[in-house]
A and B are shown apart, each in its own frame.
Chain A
Amino acid sequence: MRILPKTVSAGVYTGFLALLAIAPWIFSVIDEPFYLDLLSRGLILAIAALSLNLILGYGGMVSLGHAAYLGIGAYCVGIPAYYDFYNGWLHLGLTVLVSGLFALVTGAICLRTKGVYFIMITLAFSQMVYFTFVSLEEYGGDDGLVIYLRSEFPTWLSMESPVALYYWIFTVLLITLFFIHRLVHARFGRVIVGSRFNEDRMQSLGYSTYRYRLTCYVISGVICGIAGMLLGNFTSFISPEMMGWTRSGELIFMVVIGGAGTLFGPLVGTAAFVFLEEFLSYITIYWHLIFGLMLIALVLFGKGGIHGWLSAFDRKEKRG
Chain B
Amino acid sequence: MSQTGSPPRAIPRDSLASRLIQGIAGLADRPMAWIQHAVGGRGMAYVFLGPNILFFGLFVFLPIGINMAMSLTGGTNLFLSERPFIGGDHYRSLMQCGSYLDPASCREDHFWKGVSNTLKFTLFQMVAMVGTALVTALVLNRKIRGRGFFRAVYFFPVLLSPVVVALIWKWILQRDGLLNGAITLAGGEKILFFVEPGWAMFWAVFVSVWAHMGFYTLILLAGLQAIPADLYEAAEMDGTKPMRVLTRITLPLLWPNLVVVLVLVLIKAVQTFDEVFVLTGGGPGTATLMVVQYIYETAFANQVQNFGLAAAASMLLGSVLFALTMLQLWIARRKAA
The reply to whether chain A is a binding partner of chain B is: no
Contact surface of A with B, Cβ cutoff 8 Å: none
